[in-house]
Amino acid sequence: MPLAQIFVPEGALTLEQRRAMIKGVTDVIAGVEGLPDSGRPFVTVLIIETPNGGWGVAGHGYVLQEFPQLIAGKPILPPKS
């Protein structure tokens, strides 16, 4: 049984976006595995929402409002000690 875990920032996706992501990931896994339609119910996709501040890159815990900066390639770097 294939299992995909996707971590996203809390509140970043609407219900419709989560459903679209689950369908898309299921489609990809079923295609790669060569599963028949009867095998699709055995593909599990978990979307795990990470609390605000619980997603870290380069030593900085990000909140949702800071993600556009990270995506733009400008990570927030902590001060050097």
Domain spans of the chain, in order of start: 3-50, 53-81
The DSSP call for residue 51 is P
Q: Are 7 and 50 in contact (CB under 8 A)?
A: yes
Measured CA to CA, the distance from residue 6 to residue 53 in angstroms comes to: 17
What are the tens digits of pLDDT across the range 48-72? 999 988 988 888 889 989 989 988 9
Per CATH, the architecture of 3-50 is what?
Answer: 2-Layer Sandwich (3.30)
Measured CA to CA, the distance from residue 13 to residue 7 in angstroms comes to: 11
Q: Which pLDDT value is given to residue 58?
A: 85
Give yes or no for residue 81 having a pLDDT over 80: no
Max Cα–Cα distance, the chain, nearest Å = 57
**Average model confidence (pLDDT) across the chain:** 92
Measured CA to CA, the distance from residue 44 to residue 41 in angstroms comes to: 8
Q: Which pLDDT value is given to residue 67?
A: 87
